[in-house]
Structure 1
Amino acid sequence: MIRYYQVGVEGGEAFLTNEQGVIPITQWLEFGVFSGVVVGIVYAIVEFLFDKLQLNKLATGVVVLQKSIIYLIMLILSANFIVSIIEEQIDRNLPNDSGWWIQNKVFWLVVGYFIVCSLVFSFLKIAKDNFGKGVLFNQLIGKYKKPREERRIFMFLDLQASTTIAEQLGHFKYSELIQKCFYDLNRVLTNYDAEIYQYVGDEAVVSWPFDKGLKANNCVELFFKFQDKLLKNEKLYLKKFGLTPKFKAGLHGGKLIVTEVGTIKKEIAYHGDVINTSARIQGECNKYDETLLISEKLLQKLKLHKYKLTSIGNIALKGKEEKLNLFSINRINQ
Structure 2
Amino acid sequence: MKYNLFKFLKLLVFTVFFWSFASTLFIVIRFFAYGEEQGATYVNPKNIIPITEWLDFGLILGIIIGVFYAIVEFSFEKYISQKLNLAVSIGLKLIIYLTILIISLSFITLIAEDRMDIDLNNEQGWWRTDPLFWLSTAYFLLTSLVFSFIRIANDKLGSGVFIKMLLGKYRKPQEEKRILMFLDLKDSTAIAEKLGHKHYSQFIQDCFFDLNTILRRYDAEVYQYVGDEAVISWRYKKGVKNNNCIDLFYAFQNALLKRSKYYQKSYGLNPLFKAGLHGGQLMVAEVGTIKKEIAYHGDVINTTSRIQSECNTYNENLLISNGLLDTIDLKSKYKSRTLGEIQLKGKQEIIEISAIQVV
**Do Structure 1 and Structure 2 share a fold, with TM-score over 0.5?**
yes
Q: For residues 27-54 of structure 1, give each alpha carbon's deviation from its aligned partner in whole angstroms, at most 9, with x where no partner exists.
A: 4333222111111111111111110125
- 1:231 Cα deviation (Å)? 1.3
Structure 1 residue 192 corresponds to structure 2 residue 223: no
Q: 1:252 aligns with which of 263, 278, 284?
A: 278
Tell me, in whole angstroms, the C-alpha distance in 2 between the residues paired with 1:24 and 1:277: 64
Counterpart position of 1:107? 133
Q: How many residues align?
A: 327
SS at match of 1:53: helix
Q: For residues 92-151 of structure 1, give each alpha carbon's deviation from its aligned partner in whole angstroms, at most 9, with x where no partner exists.
A: 443222111112222222222212211111121222233333333222211111222221
Counterpart position of 2:189? 163
Q: For residues 291-314 of structure 1, give each alpha carbon's deviation from its aligned partner in whole angstroms, at most 9, with x where no partner exists.
A: 100000000000113211111112
Counterpart position of 2:348? 321
**Which residues of structure 2 form unaligned runs of 5+?**
1-26
Residue type of the alignment partner of 2:335: K
Q: How is 1:253-268 mapped onto 2 (pairs within 5 angstroms)?
A: 253-268=279-294
Q: How is 1:241-320 mapped onto 2 (pairs within 5 angstroms)?
A: 241-306=267-332, 307-320=334-347
Indicate the structure with greater helix content.
Answer: 2
SS at match of 2:171: coil
Relative to structure 1, is the Cα distance of residues 54 and 297 closer, same or farther in structure 2, using a 3 angstrom cutoff? farther
Q: How is 1:1-334 mapped onto 2 (pairs within 5 angstroms)?
A: 1=27, 2=30, 5-11=36-42, 14=44, 17=47, 26-55=52-81, 63-306=89-332, 307-332=334-359
2:178–2:279 CA contact under 8 A, matched in 1: yes
State TM-score, norm by structure 2: 0.84
Tell me, in whole angstroms, the C-alpha distance in 2 between the residues paired with 1:58 and 1:197: 28
- 1:196 Cα deviation (Å)? 0.8
SS at match of 1:156: strand
2:40–2:118 CA contact under 8 A, matched in 1: no
Tell me, in whole angstroms, the C-alpha distance in 1 between the residues paired with 2:88 and 2:287: 32
Residue type of the alignment partner of 1:8: G
Moved more, 120-129 or 80-89: 80-89
Task: Give the aligned CA root-mean-square deviation in angstroms.
Answer: 2.3
Residue type of the alignment partner of 2:40: V
2:44–2:118 CA contact under 8 A, matched in 1: no
Tell me, in whole angstroms, the C-alpha distance in 1 between the residues paired with 2:136 and 2:45: 18
Tell me, in whole angstroms, the C-alpha distance in 1 between the residues paired with 2:37 and 2:215: 48
Tell me, in whole angstroms, the C-alpha distance in 1 between the residues paired with 2:255 and 2:97: 32
Tell me, in whole angstroms, the C-alpha distance in 1 between the residues paired with 2:289 and 2:83: 30
SS at match of 1:170: helix
